[in-house]
Structure 1
Amino acid sequence: MPIVRLVSLFAGVIGAAGCAAQPAAPPVAASPKVSVRVAAAVPAPIAASPSPKPVDPPKPVPPPPPRKDYGPQRPELRAFWVDGFNDGYKTPAQCDALLARVRQLHMNAVFVQMRKRADAYYRSSYEPWADDDASHFDALEYLIEHAHQAGLPRVQIHAWVNACAVGGNKGPRALPKLHPDWISLSDTKEMFDSEVTKIDPGNPAAADWTVRVYTDIVRHYDVDGIHMDFIRYGGADKTVGHWGYNPVSVARYNARYGTTGQPVWSDERWKQWRRDQVTALVRRVYASAVAVRPKVIVSAATICWGKGPESDAEYEAKSASYQGVFAPWRDWMREGILDLDCGMTYMNSGRHRDHWRQWNAFLKDHQYGRRAAMGTAIYMNSIPESLWQINETRAPSMSGAHLAGTLLYSYASTTADASAPDGVLQYDPKFYDALGESALYKKDVAIPPMPWKSHPETGVVQGTLLSPDGLAPRDGAVVTLRRAHGGRRQARADGNGFFAVIGVTPGAYYASWEDGGVKTDLGTVHVHAGETLKITPGLPRRPIAGIGKVADGQSVTFVNAVVTNGSARLGDVFYVSDPGSKALVRVDAPGLIPPTVRGDLLAVEGTVSHEGAVPVVKASAVRWLGALRD
């Protein structure tokens, strides 16, 4: 079981100090034109279905020159992306075929798309079953059971979840229909960005929902990892960089910086704001996941469009991830909020070999003690070209750095072939034969170790800053951890009041937080290696035990109350208790919070009412603080 310590700190104001606004990003060059990854379906490996035209259809070119076979000298990731727009895991037979093919090729992981557009191929506590899963077949449960089967080579199962992409679901519970106020808009108020309708990470309610979706999987399924895709803003061609104008996000930006109106899309501070919103979502997904299961691998499919950068300055000035869709994955790796960076280097080896090599080198040299893998677009390459990319990925960089391995996109589309429909072959036996005969994957190997997971030397401090009056988030407040002998770590609260400091050296820290020029002392906190310390400061906490003696109409606040029976089953009603206690309170919270699930940790504010054997709190505010593992 993970070690998570819950601490509620109620401290007084000790003085005032200026809290500097977040600095604007340094001036950088204008955003370049970039190509855009196709979000539509790719062909199926088993049951044929139409496929889109590749973004960059390969032209007949000579195969790359032969190069030294670097061989399986060390553990490496060997994986397929398995998308949800095609067959591949929709039935037990398809799951069996998938695992058989993977094991036959001595591969060791699959990244299976369990949420493609705010739907689910598993038993979600929040979202509807995918419309092509009428039988409600739980593919995730089945794959985990059979991939981890004793006596067979273990195959890691990573739940691939589209984060911001939510459009395309036509059902009555489609997220854009239920919450149009969550959608990312362009600077001209468009909702569709030429890829797919997306939620805006700068809208706190949308971000909160998304974090719950990821955490729901981690707490209820024994997955090896969770995988973020579309964790970014959108746009295509000239509209790249023009998205992120959700009214709530714009209002938060103006409140932070004392501005009014709509910021210009190219304003450097507005660009940095949008980077910060995406990063805050990644950070919260990571911190929430490892609090529930410390060893779960958190990864993301990251943008590697166009020419690869040859320096950090070029990455910041010209890369689409930094300047176009505001998903600065290099910074996520540096902060330690990704365990595995899966760079989507979707390029044909013949046409864009130099660009591919540049990204290959940049990924290798920007791992910051974590792991990165090369995402290879086998659907855009001939078989010799794909084998060349796999082999080339194994070569060390000039500095001697190695990648963790290769992810192949995709299981549904294995080979580029000009004679095939749309230029792509579906499940192609020749590709599997060639990969097996090439000696690239000639025996089983383990996935590279992640020592920060298996033998952690640092801890995590996270929490939620809320006002005692209405549980309003303290958006933008700064938390500081300061050591007695020097050194400090800081974190800024997001739109939900959440903050996290990753990779904290064990020891005692003096903690404080600052908001609106007012500094509040939190006292001393103790950080331990391999543990998550959760603090919820500034709220007066009342134990649930003994609430039956509180008079009707009296206001109460519960902090880290554990849901014992959620509103997912009971409608707008749920029951809570203190951790380790049997005393219960019924909470009536109509319309205040998305479905609550058994094991949720909540802050609840309301008034007491005695209507039966169990005391009732008529909630005026409810906030989700995290979750316990089932």
Structure 2
Amino acid sequence: MLVEVPGGPPGSTLRGLWVDAFGPGLKTRAQVQQTVNDAVALGVNTLFVQAIRRGDCLCMKSGLPLITDKALEKNFDPLAIVTRLAHERGLKVIAWASVTGIANAAVPSTAPGHVMKTHGPNSGSQSWLARRPDGTWLEGKDGWLDAGIPDAAEFMTQSVVNLVRHYRVDGIQLDRIRYPDGGDWGYDPKTLARYRAETGASGTPAASDPRWQAWKREQVTALVRRIALEVKAVRPDAWLSAATITYGAPPAPGDLAAFGRSRTVTDVMQNWPQWVQDGLIELNVPMNYKRDGVAEQGAWFNGWNAFADSVRVRADGQPSALAVGAALYLNSPQVSAAQAGRSVAGGLGWVGYSYRTPTLNVYEGKEGMAQGLKAVGSALSTRPGVLPPALRWQDAAPSSRGLMGRVRGAAVLGSRPVEAWQGGVRVAQSLTDGNGYYGFLTLPAGKTEIRVGGQRWTDTVPERGVVRLPDLVLRDLKPATGKPVPGKPSTPKPEPGKPTNAGKR
């Protein structure tokens, strides 16, 4: 059942701008002040500020090393300052994180503690990199972490969650939350060993093997789930967002089968409609990077908007927020304005990429950034409803109601079925990740029994927020029968209805 939302669909008033870390905009106090001033002048109300770039951060409290760019001002925390200045001007700030994309060989980090030095290509069995069947790890110049390696997943999770632990950002956005392009990734020996242990498969799967693809997709989804659960345990009001993939021709609205055959699913292993349905992301920003007038791309832009709009309702009936990500850098100001106009007319929000490259001419070096911002701002302002004066994005994040936990004690922790039961009815099911974590974010409030690995545990899902359950120690017993009994916790049983260590690790 769809929950009606007064005042338009969630996200419809969002007007945003991505501010990347590959050029000026965030590296000095003066640049940050100028960025905020330019955003206000343009008329946007939300900044998607790159915090985690490539295994490093434009911040001091993520647990990652600072970026080592020479242009970075000393003793300066860009995320803290841009958040404060933007909030003072009435703008929201979403901390944007590149999750699995962690290196560029052409511009490597020189920080001693960077993950490429501790778990990079020369780290032997301690390497966390996604690899092809022949062991190579570069996609062009880029290196990526493998979501199927449990230690790498934990590293990525904590880095992102630290952004909401230590900064008053309005939410987080996951980018590069996938496998690299090509479909032939995930062949690190540790990943293959996990796959065989959890599925019973033997040998080395072909890249086109549907079972192998499905398992890898689940690793990406499990990483999104774990981040979402931890964020909501720390900050229930923080927005969960992802910049999602829209490769090629769009499926028809609601056609999940066609989406399942798309490159988004079979190549980079992203199943973002499931993320929306499960409440793992609350603001979907499809990177609908198309160029009107180039073959069918104008129609593709419209089609992907329609498909994303058709899958925005969560399992609990709440609609998620949706804003279209448009490629300012690939288009003229007039085309960008036309795309923004079509998006807004459809009840969707809009986000432009990027502040640094606001037009095709800027991207190609034919005009400066200031000139490009003025040109695109002028074009956008001519479209009704795109940049109305004093428009604010005031939506609250949907209510997340759920629980999270972890299983321990068994040789194989991943891919174990987990069920949530209420009133004798199974209301949700999922799988554990490689570290044994599981959880749900769209459960009805009330008494809930978790069943996993023959163990059971009962607690109460709150009206808002996430309950953290005690760890359950598995003995690989046969499923329990008869009257439910709690599983064996590794920590004392909580008082009835009281979350255990909610928001803490």
* TM norm structure 2: 0.84
* Percentage of matched positions with identical amino acids: 29
Q: CA deviation at 1:72?
A: 13
> Which residue type is aligned with residue 273 of structure 1?
W
- Equivalent residue, structure 2, for 1:595: none
Q: CA deviation at 1:487?
A: 3.4
- Equivalent residue, structure 1, for 2:91: 155
* Structure with more contact order per residue of length (Cα contacts < 8 Å, sep ≥ 6): 1
Q: Within 2, Cα distance between the matches of 1:225 and 1:74?
A: 14
Asked whether 1:389 is paired with 2:324, we answer: no
Asked whether 1:128 is paired with 2:71, we answer: no
Asked whether 1:521 is paired with 2:397, we answer: no
- Equivalent residue, structure 1, for 2:118: 178
> Which residue type is aligned with residue 179 of structure 1?
H
> Which residue type is aligned with residue 311 of structure 2?
H
Equivalent residue for 2:200, pick from 258, 282, 296: 258
- Counterparts of 1:50-65 in structure 2 under 5 Å? none
Q: CA deviation at 1:159?
A: 0.8
CA RMSD, 1 decimal: 2.7
- Counterparts of 1:515-554 in structure 2 under 5 Å? 519-522=454-457, 524-538=458-472
Q: Is the 8 A contact 2:100 2:146 kept in 1?
A: yes
Asked whether 1:476 is paired with 2:476, we answer: no
Aligned length: 455
Q: Is the 8 A contact 1:117 1:166 kept in 2?
A: yes
Q: CA deviation at 1:521?
A: 3.0
Q: CA deviation at 1:106?
A: 2.4
Q: Within 1, Cα distance between the matches of 2:467 and 2:45?
A: 33
* Secondary structure of the structure 2 residue equivalent to 1:197: strand
Q: Is the 8 A contact 2:402 2:439 kept in 1?
A: yes
Equivalent residue for 1:407, pick from 351, 356, 367: 351
Q: Give the structure with the higher percent helix.
A: 2
Q: Could you tell which deviates more after superposition, 285-294 or 91-100?
A: 91-100
* Secondary structure of the structure 2 residue equivalent to 1:394: helix
Instruction: Name stretches of at least 5 consecutive residues in structure 1 with no aligned partner.
Output: 1-70, 397-401, 541-556, 561-577, 579-600, 602-624
> Which residue type is aligned with residue 521 of structure 1?
R
- Equivalent residue, structure 2, for 1:358: 303
- Counterparts of 1:477-516 in structure 2 under 5 Å? 477-514=416-453
Q: CA deviation at 1:302?
A: 0.7
CA, structure 1 residues 200+354, in 2 after alignment: closer, same or farther (shift >3 Å)?
same
* Secondary structure of the structure 1 residue equivalent to 2:287: strand
* Secondary structure of the structure 1 residue equivalent to 2:196: helix
* Secondary structure of the structure 2 residue equivalent to 1:417: helix
Equivalent residue for 2:189, pick from 247, 257, 266: 247
Instruction: Name stretches of at least 5 consecutive residues in structure 2 with no aligned partner.
Output: 1-7, 121-126, 314-318, 475-488, 495-499
- CA deviation string 1:258-303 (max 9, x = no partner): 2222111100000001100000000011110010000101111111
Q: Within 2, Cα distance between the matches of 1:73 and 1:166?
A: 32
* Secondary structure of the structure 1 residue equivalent to 2:93: strand
> Which residue type is aligned with residue 88 of structure 1?
G
Q: Within 1, Cα distance between the matches of 2:134 and 2:326?
A: 35
- Equivalent residue, structure 2, for 1:204: 150
Q: CA deviation at 1:176?
A: 2.0
Q: Within 2, Cα distance between the matches of 1:103 and 1:205?
A: 41
Q: Within 2, Cα distance between the matches of 1:193 and 1:482?
A: 43
Q: CA deviation at 1:530?
A: 0.2
Q: CA deviation at 1:144?
A: 1.4
Equivalent residue for 1:229, pick from 172, 175, 179: 175
Q: Within 2, Cα distance between the matches of 1:135 and 1:473?
A: 46
Q: Is the 8 A contact 2:197 2:412 kept in 1?
A: no
- Equivalent residue, structure 2, for 1:568: none
CA, structure 1 residues 292+107, in 2 after alignment: closer, same or farther (shift >3 Å)?
same
Q: CA deviation at 1:85?
A: 0.6
Q: CA deviation at 1:448?
A: 5.5
Q: Is the 8 A contact 2:12 2:344 kept in 1?
A: no
* Secondary structure of the structure 2 residue equivalent to 1:148: helix
Q: CA deviation at 1:192?
A: 0.4
Q: CA deviation at 1:539?
A: 5.1
Asked whether 1:194 is paired with 2:140, we answer: yes
Q: Within 2, Cα distance between the matches of 1:242 and 1:307?
A: 22
Equivalent residue for 2:393, pick from 438, 447, 451: 447
Q: CA deviation at 1:449?
A: 2.0
Equivalent residue for 1:166, pick from 99, 102, 120: 102
Asked whether 1:295 is paired with 2:208, we answer: no
Q: Is the 8 A contact 1:340 1:371 kept in 2?
A: yes
- CA deviation string 1:326-360 (max 9, x = no partner): 01111111111001111011111121211111112
- Equivalent residue, structure 2, for 1:280: 222
CA, structure 1 residues 364+510, in 2 after alignment: closer, same or farther (shift >3 Å)?
closer
